[in-house]
Amino acid sequence: MKVIDHIRQAKDTLISFEILPPLKGKTINSIYEHLDPLMEFKPSFINVTYHRSEHVFKKKADGTFDKVEVRKRPGTVGICAAIMNYYHVDAVPHLICGGFNKRETEDALIDLNFIGVDNVLVLRGDAAKNETLFEPDPDGHRYAIDLLKQVVNLNNGIYLEEDILDGFRTKFSIGVAGYPEKHFEAPNMNSDLDYLKEKVDAGSDYIVTQMFFDNKKYFEFVDKCREKGINIPIIPGLKPVTSKKQLSIIPRTFHVDIPDELSVEIMKCKTDLDVEKVGAEWLLNQSRELKKAGVPVLHYYTLGKARVISNVVKQLL
Ligand code: FAD
């Protein structure tokens, strides 16, 4: 079922989770072990992230280095099939521009359609580790909107091969990303919102936000979106802080602020277990306020922290 239909049919705020494919070498059981404690909350859908390949240097016997391309977390399409089959839950694979050409994207969309996936979250992806700015594949997409248009085309039966005249029309429900604290490359919030509006006008059904730790930022973002004429559901993305290190890792990686009140409490903690308690309490309060405000879905970035999130959602419901 499509995410947008879950939202339309819901009588209350829904729950959804986001997972990462395991590192290459692990089995699908690591996904089941991660998800098992979360399934009692009957998530409406589960997102599975996509990771581009990266270049690494491998030292050879003669002391020189070989540059090789590795994908550390493959398996997004397979994981979607596995969790849909095992848990009977809707899966939302992330699709990224980075590292893919249009043909590979079309083939992935055909595979997803064949395994019964009705949803995609369409993203640009970040720059490769060795690049300062995002560079698309020579025959790929530069912005999420370009990838989105390819999915919309397939939904209209338009394939890359022009001689496919009566092509099957896929029915993907399309989500896109939004940034309550602005995308870090955007010159200002207004321009970021203008591009978000373009993604909405091009056919996205809903927005999932970058994580935030101050609900005020989400509410202000929703207001600004509505002023721009963006009227689709805006799903808040949430994550607990679980270690002191994250006080600098999260802002550096995701370009979001950690509120003073939260960082002060975390700095007082003696162990990471204490930090988890503070982070969980904060997440619970955020979730309660958002639910009370009637957000469509609470979307949790689980990132290896299923136990913390499970405790939070248990207290919430
Ligand atoms: P875009 O919408 O293309 O925007 C990128 C930047 O370009 C913005 O600054 C925007 O203002 C600007 N822009 C947009 N359109 C135009 C245009 N036409 N002309 C000029 N400028 C423009 N990354 C992964 O690699 N894998 C994942 O699975 C993944 N999942 C994510 C899930 C969520 C909910 C979020 C919020 C992010 C996720 N990311 C993921 C990270 C994401 O790929 C990065 O944040 C990326 O830098 C931007 O992606 P986007 O889709 O927002 O890009």
- Residue 109 has φ and ψ, to the nearest 5°, of -65, -35
**Considering only CA atoms, which of 130, 107, 162, 119 is closest in space to residue 18?**
119
What pLDDT shows up at residue 55? 81
List, in order, residues 6 or more apart from 94 with CB less than 8 Å away: 47, 48, 49, 50, 76, 120, 121, 123
Mind listing the domains of the chain with CATH numbers? 3-242+276-316 (3.20.20.220)
> Which residue, judged by its Cα, is nearest atom 14 of ligand 1?
195
Tens-of-pLDDT digits for all 317 residues of the chain? 999 999 999 999 999 999 999 999 999 999 999 999 999 999 999 999 999 988 888 888 888 888 888 888 999 999 999 999 999 999 999 999 999 999 999 999 999 999 999 999 999 999 988 888 999 999 999 999 999 999 999 999 999 999 999 899 999 999 999 999 999 999 999 999 999 999 999 999 999 999 999 999 999 999 999 999 999 999 999 999 999 999 999 999 999 999 999 999 999 999 999 999 999 999 999 999 999 999 999 999 998 899 999 999 999 98
Q: Is the CB of 210 under 6 A from ligand 1?
A: yes
Q: Are 116 and 84 in contact (CB under 8 A)?
A: yes
What pLDDT shows up at residue 94? 98
Q: Is the CB of 192 under 6 A from ligand 1?
A: yes
Q: How far apart are CA 170 and CA 165, in angstroms?
A: 14
Q: Is the CB of 235 under 6 A from ligand 1?
A: no
Helices (runs of H) and strands (runs of E) counted in the chain? 11, 10
**Considering only CA atoms, which of 3, 39, 92 is closest in space to residue 314?**
39
Ligand 1 centroid to residue 6 C-alpha, Å: 24
Ligand 1 centroid to residue 5 C-alpha, Å: 24
DSSP assignment of 56-112:
EEEE-TTS-EEEEEE-SS--HHHHHHHHHHHH--EEEEEEESTT--HHHHHHHHHHH
* Closest atom of ligand 1 to CA, residue 50: 28
> Which residue, judged by its Cα, is nearest atom 25 of ligand 1?
125
End-to-end CA distance of the chain: 23
* Closest atom of ligand 1 to CA, residue 52: 25
Three-state SS for 182? coil
Three-state SS for 44? coil
Q: Is the CB of 181 under 6 A from ligand 1?
A: no
Q: Is the CB of 135 under 6 A from ligand 1?
A: no
Nearest-10 crossing angle of helices 246-254, 260-268? 150
Residue 289 is among the residues annotated as catalytic for this protein: no
| Residue 220: its H or E element | helix 215-227
Q: Is the CB of 246 under 6 A from ligand 1?
A: no
Three-state SS for 29? helix
